Amino acid sequence: MVPLVHIIYVCLFAMGALFIWTTQAFPRPLSADDIGPAVFPIWLAIVMMTLIVVDTVISWGRAKRVPFGDVGLAVLFALGMGGAIWASSRLGFFYVLPAALYVGLWAIGSRRLVVNGIFSLAMPIVLWALFDQLLSIPLSRL
């Protein structure tokens, strides 16, 4: 059993460190009176990281614990969503969406396979008709 909030905090702390690291490439201030474009993201990251440390100390003994397998399952599904996004950028949104919807419906517990299949095919068609045809906003090339 692991405290879920602390796992989330580790990820957010790493994101704060990434903010600080990426701001090193920002342009420097134009004058001595200018604070520069990197100051706000750095301050925001430092405040976020400080609040994470403070709340971790305060909630150390009271944090709700979850089974490690549940955390691993969440990571697995996050990787699956990342894979679906990557595949849709390579293959096309409308080719990947039906499979992603079907797997997602199954993953959340819906075992009505025919209804899931109909929904997984109908939803991309409705999105395509609404955005691409009716509103002339192309979502993806087919």
C-beta of residue 116 within 8 angstroms of C-beta of residue 102? yes
User: What is the count of structural domains for the chain?
Assistant: 2
Q: Is residue 139 part of a domain?
A: no
DSSP 20: H
Same domain assignment for residues 57 and 82:
no
pTM over 0.85: no
Per-residue pLDDT tens digits for 112-128: 999 999 999 999 999 88
In a shared domain, residues 59 and 72: no
Spatial separation of the C-alpha atoms in residues 103 and 114, rounded to whole Å? 13
Residue 140 domain-assigned?
no
Question: Where in the sequence is the domain holding 19, given as residue range(s)?
Answer: 2-65
Q: pLDDT at position 141, please?
A: 58
Asked whether 5 and 64 are in contact (CB, 8 A), the reply is yes
> Alpha-carbon torsion 107, 110, 113, 115, what sign?
negative
